Amino acid sequence: MYSYVATLSLYGLDCKEIRAEADMSDGLPVFEVVGFLSGEVKEASKRVKTALKNSGIVLPPKRITVNLSPAYIKKCGTSYDLAIAVALMKAMGLIPKDKDRGMAVIGELSLSGEVKKVTGVLPMVIEAKNLGYSRCMIPMDNLKEASCVEDMELIPVSYLQDVIDHYHGAYVPCIDHENTGCICENDTVGVDLRDVNGQESCKRALEIAAAGMHNILLIGPPGSGKTMLAKRLPTILCEPDREEMLEITKIYSIAGLLTADTGLITERPFVSPHHTATPISLSGGGINPKPGECSLAHRGVLFLDELPEFSRQTLEILRQPMEDRIISISRQQGRCIFPADFLLCAAMNPCKCGYYPDRTKCNCNSEDVRRYVGKISGPLLDRIDLCGRAMRIDYKDLKQKGSNVDSKTVRMRVEKAVAIQRERFRGTRIRFNSEIGPGDIDRYCHLGTKQEKLMKSAYECFELTARGYHRIIKVARTIADLDGSEEIKEEHISEAIGFRTIDGRYGNV
Ligand SMILES: [Zn+2]
């Protein structure tokens, strides 16, 4: 008897249609699974056999062959177990043949016959829909994330017995309809810009960064609240649209970071790797590639605290995503691409001791300061648009509670500026001012005569590079958008110049 069941493979973000074929013929009793398998898939034969036995199904003493086709795709992971079990039950005649039309089966089995949660269910169900499947059988614990896909009938199962009952019309999954809504809250809940006293200039820099998705560097002495400020950045970013939410959730699904209670992720992520992070933890990798911190920050914030403490090799990894907004990992089986489009927020002390230019505490000479700033590579600094300088807080500011602006107010201003940018860039690939290329500057950021003059004097006075010059204009464009002004005025340019970033060559912090 021959039968097959449809399932999907996952490699990076890439899903492919797979057929789990089962054949039972007369001959010596053997049970083998073939089809370019990795170690964990080879073990599937033992898991499936035992799970079937413990669910009351004994395989007949025949020559049983299971093939995962097509054979040129390497099969990794444990999500094929359930499909193999269903294919076997079909071949044994335990399941009516035509009952699974248009259905894809995904899930891992435990020896007891329990169906266990697997990673990457969301991208697999999305691909199943694209391939024309109308139904998916998935583990119960993956129901929430799979529910994010519209127009797909889901059959969540907890045990192998549920699967058999389903095919005989005796299984009604207990879906808590109240709770299939797709809400997830990350740990930014409860934090608010209101909590930070003083640091008005930094707050303004964060607002501009959020409005144009500009990369930002916060410099200031230890304890001035740089980390606190950075953690509040996600609370003022514009809300992700549905497509972005799906992109974020897909990455977390593959990384195995969604719990059974997590549906669609509706907030922009905030990821802060420690400065001891390795290049691989940032880029992602592994035999069956998993996304790294850069991709987990996709559509959100990647926060690097104590920037000069990161190793050069680790920071080098950031070059590709900051240039192309993706991370590509080369493997024997081919290239694997993860999206990595994030807002980089970095924080650092101004010098080794941390107190420059406070001469009462800092003994560093200008050469020391230059060397400290020089630890950050030029190409990275080149990608940072804005620099906020945190100061030691005055006693008056420390005590002043309740006068601080809250995240909600700032977010409303940001959303307005983002709406203006959507309108401006309609029909192009650009979404935010920070993405304007050098060739498009004149088109989107027109400067009047006075403004040109101001930029010319800034260019000469601060010895700007061409890149630095463009950065200031792009930031000024965002400031004008926050102001609701179509024209970039002189005041917008002056403010942008005030937030210009440091330069590793001069160390002019
Ligand atoms: Zn110092």
In the reported structure, the alpha carbon of residue 356 is separated from the centroid of ligand 1 by a whole-number distance in angstroms of: 5
- Whole-angstrom Cα distance, residue 207 to residue 479? 9
Q: How much is the average pLDDT of 367-384? A: 84
For CA atoms 328, 329, 331, 333, the dihedral sign is: negative
- Whole-angstrom Cα distance, residue 420 to residue 406? 22
In the reported structure, the alpha carbon of residue 367 is separated from the centroid of ligand 1 by a whole-number distance in angstroms of: 11
In the reported structure, the alpha carbon of residue 505 is separated from the centroid of ligand 1 by a whole-number distance in angstroms of: 18
In the reported structure, the alpha carbon of residue 12 is separated from the centroid of ligand 1 by a whole-number distance in angstroms of: 45
Other Cβ atoms within 10 Å of 172 Cβ, number:
9
As a CATH number, domain 193-433 is 3.40.50.300
The answer on pLDDT for 409 being more than 70 is: yes
Q: How much is the average pLDDT of 358-378? A: 83
Q: Which amino acid is at 390?
A: A
CA-based Rg of the chain, rounded to a whole angstrom? 28
Predicted confidence at residue 506, as pLDDT, reads 46
In the reported structure, the alpha carbon of residue 351 is separated from the centroid of ligand 1 by a whole-number distance in angstroms of: 5
In the reported structure, the alpha carbon of residue 205 is separated from the centroid of ligand 1 by a whole-number distance in angstroms of: 24
Q: Which amino acid is at 138?
A: I
Share of the chain above pLDDT 70, in %: 94
In the reported structure, the alpha carbon of residue 350 is separated from the centroid of ligand 1 by a whole-number distance in angstroms of: 7
- DSSP letter at 177? G
Predicted confidence at residue 391, as pLDDT, reads 82
The answer to whether 273 and 305 have CB atoms below 8 angstroms apart is: no
- DSSP letter at 332? T
In the reported structure, the alpha carbon of residue 389 is separated from the centroid of ligand 1 by a whole-number distance in angstroms of: 15
Cα separation values, 30 from 23, 24, 64, 382, Å: 11, 10, 6, 62
Predicted confidence at residue 52, as pLDDT, reads 94
In the reported structure, the alpha carbon of residue 476 is separated from the centroid of ligand 1 by a whole-number distance in angstroms of: 32
- Whole-angstrom Cα distance, residue 20 to residue 34? 10
**What is the average pLDDT score of the chain?**
88
Q: Does 3.30.230.10 match the CATH number of domain 2-179?
A: yes
Q: Which of 286, 292, 293 is nearest to 332 (CA)?
A: 286
In the reported structure, the alpha carbon of residue 393 is separated from the centroid of ligand 1 by a whole-number distance in angstroms of: 18
Give whichever of 165-179, 293-307, 322-336 has the largest mean pLDDT.
Answer: 293-307
The answer on pLDDT for 487 being more than 90 is: yes
pLDDT in tens, 57-107: 999 999 999 999 999 888 888 899 999 999 999 999 888 877 788 999 999
Q: Which of 486, 502, 496 is nearest to 454 (CA)?
A: 496
**β-bridge mates for residue 284, sequence order:** 291
Cα separation values, 296 from 109, 232, 256, 430, 497, Å: 28, 18, 11, 22, 32
pLDDT in tens, 17-63: 999 999 999 999 999 999 988 888 888 889 999 999 999 999 999 99
The label of the residue with tokens 């003022």 reads 236
The model's pTM:
0.90
The answer to whether 184 and 264 have CB atoms below 8 angstroms apart is: yes
Q: Which sequence spans correspond to the domains of the chain?
A: 2-179, 193-433
Place 504 in a pLDDT band, splitting at 50, 70 and 90.
low
- Whole-angstrom Cα distance, residue 245 to residue 251? 10
The answer on pLDDT for 465 being more than 90 is: no
